[in-house]
Amino acid sequence: MSAGAYVAIMLAVIAVCTLVSVPPLFFRKCLRCGTRNFIEARNCRSCETPLPHDTA
Task: Provide the binding-site residues for Zn ion, judged by CB under 5 A.
Answer: 30, 32-33, 35, 44, 46-47, 49
- Closest distance between Zn ion and the C-beta of residue 50, in Å? 10
CA 21 to chain centre: 7
Task: Give me the least distance between CB of 48 and Zn ion, in Å please.
Answer: 7
What is the chain's Cα-based Rg?
17
Which is nearer to Zn ion, 28 or 44 (by Cβ)?
Answer: 44
Q: Produce one character per residue of 11-22: b if its CB has 16 or more CB atoms within 10 Å, e if not.
A: eeeeeeeeeeee
- For residue 2, the minimal CB distance to Zn ion (Å) is 49
